[in-house]
Amino acid sequence: MNTEFLPISRRDMQSRGWDCADFVYVTGDAYVDHPSFGAALLSRLLEREGFRVAILAQPDFRSAEDFKRFGRPRLGFLVTGGNIDSMVAHYTVAKQKRGTDYYSPGGKPGRRPDRAVIVYCQRIREAYGDVPIVIGGLEASLRRFAHYDYWDDKVRASILVESGADLLSYGMGERSIVRIAKLLDKGAPIGRIRDVRGTVYLTTPDDRLHYEAVGGWDFAQLRHDKRLYARAFGVQYREQDAVVGRAITEKYGERLLVQNPPQPPLEREELDALYDLPFVRDYHPVYKTQGGVPAIDEVKFSITHNRGCFGGCNFCALAFHQGRSVRSRSIESVVKEAELLTHLPGFKGFIHDVGGPTANFRSPACEKQLTSGVCTNRKCLAPTPCKNLRVDHSEYLELLRRVEQIPGIKKVFIRSGIRFDYLIYDPDESFFRKLVRDHVSGQLKVAPEHCCDNVLSLMGKPGVQVYDRFCARFFALTKACGKEQYLVPYLMSSHPGSTLQDAATLACYLKKHKCRPEQVQDFYPTPGTASTVMYYTGINPLTGKKVYVVTDPHEKALQRALLQWSRPQNADLVREALIRADRRDLIGTAEKCLIRPKQTGGKPARTGGRRPQPNQRKGGNRKK
């Protein structure tokens, strides 16, 4: 490909004949020019609109010097922490330092600071004072309001307040950033840009707002009043809609934080044009001697075909970031990208994924969402499917057929999440049969998460009987096509609402189905999710009802051990958990028991159960 990377040094910039950049784009990730990276999407989009963008990837944050690399930009700095929150990138749910950062050269950690957006903005201010700064990306988007911070165990102010930036672009920021860039280019002061949807700004309480607003909570109260905090999040969640959403305000002393309503999602033609931009589709060659950037490995030969998710899982931030109204690219656009992939170096005939947030969503859940917005009082799929839900896999099926017919493509896999309940609700099994026959690479990842209805309800998931229906049909179709394939179920321990008794019930369920998870995800409280609000407040922000919450590290370890009951190293924890859960009936030698009584001498007691046999459910892996 002849596409050039955008400048990463003053020499690169000068070789293009630029005396300065319009924008310097600061990112916590290494520079990867691929459409799976937000910085690449937005920088290429700005380039298409005629703006000069230089990339400052993982700058040395220990001083302001590296932030002067390109000189003062004509219009301002754009700042993102990267594809994932910098705190999640650095720490496990146990708050232990991770040994790998997949978005850094060679996977080595330490190339970005904790709370990267805040630190980068501080260094920019040190370097250039009042230069315009716009923050965006996941880290900024999910921290746009006062938010509970798990790592500090307190409610922190909006990241716009803490960073000292001028403007925050939240959600998928293509429309917002182009509008902001054009206003700045026309000479509009950054402090007067207040009418752009999808942005957050600071003003004075007596300023006239551009949109009808709700909220008005005072940060001084939010940080101490858990019930008020839960109620505020509930309003923020319900107003996260481009059709009917209103502006939301928060008070910070003499300043008023204003979130304008969300931008409408990009429609099909706009998404097609976005993914048709001239990406190099690789990491910058400067990283080659450092081992490359591991994050490219899973996405280099993958295709994103959709955005948004109406699944509505309470522990997921997608609803607060991409929104609940799904949009997708045209089949022709996806086919064009697939054809391009066949000509890239290293392509061996396999498309690793044709997916997105949820692989088998292609359109809004119902026609009503287009004119009336998403429902504020219920979810599309859980606990039961809405009567207005439109279940249709026909277009996705046609898309996959078109892609696999391209010369040079041997196989097309689906590795991103399949929403199993949406799949099983489809009376037409054409897609299900083809999925099992042609698009599973031995294991299919699905996310039942738990088996107890009380926990699943708080997660925003359907009852386990729906998962059981899916499993039965999956294995029947697998057998019918003469294959040996497995399901890799994602499971979560210690989610709000889950007790030791619930964990014991899940352990019995796993044993019954001969499932031994290799890894279990402890619930990780991160900004922007309803489940995190439950964890902090003990209140479900969507209903106002109280919720049992596990915060004690030892009880968390007990719940996790129960889900991995068959591991010898968990034996003592499993016994303790069963005793505390009043489930001594599961300690013994009977078939139903999870573990044997502790022996006082001789060989250590073995855990119960047999090794899983072929075509039985199998455990999965997921980053903690």
The pLDDT value given to residue 1? 46
Q: How many Cβ atoms from other residues are within 10 Å of residue 473's Cβ? A: 17
- The residue among 517, 556, 302 whose CA lies nearest residue 409 is 302
Q: What CATH number has the domain spanning 10-196?
A: 3.40.50.280
At 558, the amino acid letter reads: L
Q: Which residues contact 312 (CB under 8 A, 6 or more apart)?
A: 319, 324, 379, 380, 381, 382, 460
Question: Is the pLDDT assigned to residue 326 strictly greater than 70?
Answer: yes
Token pair of 259 as six digits: 């979130």
DSSP secondary structure code for residue 352 in this structure: -
Cross-strand partners of 199: 169
Reported as a single tens digit per residue, the pLDDT across 396-414 is 999 999 999 999 999 999 9
The pLDDT value given to residue 519? 78
Identify whether the C-beta of residue 498 lies closer than 8 Å to the C-beta of residue 455: yes
Q: Which residue has the tokens 């119960």?
A: 608
d(CA 376, CA 310): 12
Confidence of residue 624 (pLDDT cuts 50, 70, 90): very low
Reported as a single tens digit per residue, the pLDDT across 562-582 is 999 999 999 999 999 999 999
The pLDDT value given to residue 2? 53
Backbone angles phi, psi at 218, to 5 degrees: -95, 130
Reported as a single tens digit per residue, the pLDDT across 31-84 is 999 999 999 999 999 999 999 999 999 999 999 999 999 999 999 999 999 999
The pLDDT value given to residue 85? 95
d(CA 102, CA 292): 10
pTM of the model: 0.93
d(CA 235, CA 229): 10
d(CA 461, CA 303): 27
- DSSP for 113-174, written as a single string: -TTHHHHHHHHHHHHHTT--EEEEHHHHHTTSSSEEETTTTEEEPPHHHHH--SEEE-SS-H
At 594, the amino acid letter reads: L
The pLDDT value given to residue 304? 97
